[in-house]
Amino acid sequence: MVDALAHSCNTYYMNKYRDEIDKFGYNNPQAGLDEFNKYMVQFGFGSKLGIDYPNESPGGFPTSAYYDKLYPKIQGGWHSPTIMSCGIGQGELQLTTLQMANLAACIANRGYWYPPHLIKEFKDGTPIPDRFYEKHVVDVDRRHFETVVEGMDQCVVRGTARVAQVPGVAVCGKTGTSQNPHGDDHSVFFAFAPKENPKIAIAVYVENAGWGASYAAPIAGLMIEKMLNDTISTARLYLEERMINADLTSKILASRAQEKIQAKLPKPKPDSLPDPAKIPTEIPDAVAPKDSKPQTARPQNNRK
């Protein structure tokens, strides 16, 4: 698992997710998903965390009832392969950026979290609401959190999030790339630091920015460095400048303009098939042209 987290191995995640869904048998994925979702609730997913800020979204995750309706048994039903994209955080899974930051805090605490809030205290001495002091404990053994922490640590040390390294601080993080069918993918990263006695948990989501390590991870790393070290090291000033001067808006507008041009081009008929001769192949000279002449045999050398 440590290596999978370090190098962002989707195959590992999907197979482990399938193991959980198939826990009660391949033909009973409902029971496996229902049990898995009990832990999703404990982590704070699928409902509002209760932050003292308006318009919070609850996010959401798919249930067995949802899939039973989407894939009726009379039509073949559904099984773990049907939904394995959820194992890499995609599919019907919907998390808010706040929920991702809260997950980072929960992992940093090795299994518990408090509702996030912006206000620490009021000027007149009025205490903040009691709900912000409520400790939410996840029913997962601490040793499993330690494994995840080590994987997130190695992700920054030698994996996909090396760009988030902060001098003198052990950062634990995980990159993500949220696929987007309407344009460039979204860049995602969540982290906490330091590894021991953590002081900050953070999540960064940059739309249409590509890989998690392209923008989200360096932004998070710079913010962690600024908070914990109070300044950006000389060796990382180039990275700060690149993030500040990044112009993703122009890139998105150009992409949308190209989409409009493509939309105006004539579309092939639904029942039309491509010309077989124009289909690329890795086999050289796989199909000889119809008008080509067969090769004649080489003349035999009759020397004695």
Residue range 129-155, pLDDT digits in tens: 999 999 999 999 999 999 999 999 999
If you count DSSP H runs as helices and E runs as strands, how many of each does the chain have, helices first?
9, 5
Which uninterrupted H or E stretch holds 248? helix 248-264
Furthest-apart CA atoms within the chain: distance in Å: 114
**pLDDT tens digits for the chain (304 residues)?**
999 999 999 999 999 999 999 999 999 999 999 999 999 999 999 999 999 999 999 999 999 999 999 999 999 999 999 999 999 999 999 999 999 999 999 999 999 999 999 998 889 989 899 999 999 999 999 999 999 999 999 999 999 999 999 999 999 999 999 988 888 899 999 999 999 999 999 999 999 999 999 999 999 999 999 999 999 999 999 999 999 999 998 888 888 888 888 888 887 676 666 666 666 655 555 444 455 454 444 555 555 4
Taking CA atoms, 75 is separated from 54, 70, 71, 85, 116, in Å, by 43, 10, 7, 21, 44
Reduce the DSSP state of residue 173 to 3 states and report it: strand
Residue 84 C-beta-side C-alpha neighbours within 13 Å: 15
User: What are the phi and psi torsion angles at 141 (to 5°)?
Assistant: -60, 140
* Non-local CB neighbours of 270 within 8 Å, separated by 6+ positions: none
Chosen CATH of 2-119+126-248 out of 3.40.50.300, 3.30.530.20, 3.40.710.10, 2.70.70.10: 3.40.710.10
Query: Residue ranges per domain, the chain?
Result: 2-119+126-248
Q: Kindly give the pairing relationship between strand 172-178 and strand 186-193.
A: antiparallel
**C-alpha–C-alpha distance, residues 44 and 290, integer Å:** 64
**pTM for this model (two decimals):** 0.84
